[in-house]
A and B are shown apart, each in its own frame.
Chain A
Amino acid sequence: AQSVAQPEDQVNVAEGNPLTVKCTYSVSGNPYLFWYVQYPNRGLQFLLKYITGDNLVKGSYGFEAEFNKSQTSFHLKKPSALVSDSALYFCAVRDLNTGGFKTIFGAGTRLFVKA
């Protein structure tokens, strides 16, 4: 069965510093991997995804993520954090070898960026 883990409930970073939000996954086949961001009282907004190809994926608002097959990880990164990046971040995985229907979301990581 597929699963996704976000090992940190919360990440704190100072504005201007680089940030990393961690995600690891488990699938039986090849994964689709996604990152979403959620602001208070709002729905989830798509940031970026990995399907195939280059392991470094660039997305919205300056975010990028690196797919590492050997470590089964898909960490979200940004070179310079902004206070406005403070939000809840969700990693998600879809297993392409199980019909591609079900997408599983992690429990979320709350990012606090301090001015």
Chain B
Amino acid sequence: EAEVAQSPRYKITEKSQAVAFWCDPISGHATLYWYRQILGQGPELLVQFQDESVVDDSQLPKDRFSAERLKGVDSTLKIQPAELGDSAMYLCASSSPRSGNTIYFGEGSWLTVV
């Protein structure tokens, strides 16, 4: 069964450092999402891509967060500089009309900022 791949699974970084997460969606899925999930809460959409274009980044803190999907396949989410409040799980997901627009998630990347 095809999966959304994410790396790294766990990352500890110091405050003010840069950190990056990578995601490879299910093959053929044109829509890619980055969500942030704080412990005990539901996922919050940070950015949504349709192919290589951003369709929603209204909740992305653009002063420190950036996301790209240059060739419309895999994607990178970057945080610079990291702050203590960024500690969370970062979930990548993808969807396609062919799969009924169901969103499929990766295993997530846990970020701890110290």
Q: Which residues of A contact B (CB under 8 A)?
A: 32, 34, 36, 41-46, 49, 51, 90, 92, 94, 100-103, 105-108
Contact = CB atoms under 8 A, between A and B. Distances in A.
Nearest to A44: B105
Contacts of B75: none
A40 to B, nearest CB: 11
- Chain A, interface SS category: strand
Given A41-B110, A43-B107, A101-B56, A106 B102 contact: no
Cβ-closest 10 pairs across A and B: A43-B105, A105-B42, A44-B105, A43-B107, A43-B108, A107-B42, A105-B43, A108-B42, A43-B106, A106-B42
Contacts of B105: 36, 43-45
Contact of B103 (A41, A42, A103, A107): A103
B45 interface: yes
B82 interface: no
B37 to A, nearest CB: 9
Given A90-B43, A108-B42, A100 B108 contact: no
29 contacts: A34-B102, A34-B103, A36-B105, A41-B108, A42-B107, A43-B6, A43-B93, A43-B105, A43-B107, A43-B108, A44-B43, A44-B105, A45-B105, A46-B103, A49-B100, A49-B102, A51-B100, A90-B43, A94-B101, A100-B101, A101-B48, A101-B56, A102-B45, A102-B56, A103-B103, A105-B43, A106-B42, A107-B41, A108-B41
Nearest to B99: A46
B95 to A, nearest CB: 9
